[in-house]
């Protein structure tokens, strides 16, 4: 477990791929993004230390986020591969009409014990 400061520890690091999609053509860009996610699943499964992948879709603000969670100890090795398959996914997402504001972010992710 890594400590950022007193009371703030983590053992999971997440890499988020986020973008906006459009409602045009019966949400064709969202359909295409889901197909792209399905296409990249085998490569995601190969990430060392993978803890899971979550997809978040907001129908109101038209966000799609793919959150890839890895063990903190494996993160550096994944980063050294340029977060494979991130580059492939993002370059293909850029080609989809109606997809915009493509960004990435890295952060720690931990459950809150209640």
Indicate which CATH number applies to the domain containing 68.
3.30.70.100
pLDDT given for residue 68 in this prediction: 98
Condensed to tens digits (0 to 9), the pLDDT of residues 16-67 reads 999 999 999 999 999 999 999 999 999 999 999 999 999 999 999 999 999 9
pLDDT given for residue 19 in this prediction: 98
Residue 73 is part of which domain span? 12-108
For the chain, what is the domain count? 1
Condensed to tens digits (0 to 9), the pLDDT of residues 80-102 reads 999 999 999 999 999 999 999 99
76 belongs to a structural domain: yes
Rounded CA-CA distance 21/4 in Å is 35
73 belongs to a structural domain: yes
Q: Report residue 105's pLDDT band, with 50, 70 and 90 as the boundaries.
A: very high
25, 102 Cβ separation under 8 angstroms: no
7 belongs to a structural domain: no
pLDDT given for residue 84 in this prediction: 93
Model confidence, pTM: 0.94
Residues linked to residue 3 through DSSP beta bridges, in sequence order:
9
29-38: long-range pairs with CB below 8 Å, 24+: 29/96, 29/97, 29/98, 29/99, 30/57, 30/64, 32/96, 32/99, 33/64, 33/93, 33/96, 33/99, 36/89, 36/92, 36/93, 36/96, 37/66
């Amino acid at each position: 477990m890594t400590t950022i400061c007193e009371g703030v520890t983590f053992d999971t690091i997440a890499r988020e791929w986020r973008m906006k999609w459009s409602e045009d053509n019966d949400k064709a860009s969202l359909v295409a993004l889901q197909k792209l996610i399905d296409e990249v699943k085998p490569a995601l499964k190969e990430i060392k230390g993978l803890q899971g992948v979550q997809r978040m879709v907001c129908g109101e603000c038209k966000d799609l986020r793919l959150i890839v969670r890895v063990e903190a100890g494996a993160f550096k090795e994944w980063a050294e591969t340029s977060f494979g398959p991130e580059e492939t996914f993002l370059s293909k997402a850029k080609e989809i009409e109606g997809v915009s504001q493509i960004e990435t972010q890295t952060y720690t992710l931990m459950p809150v014990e209640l």
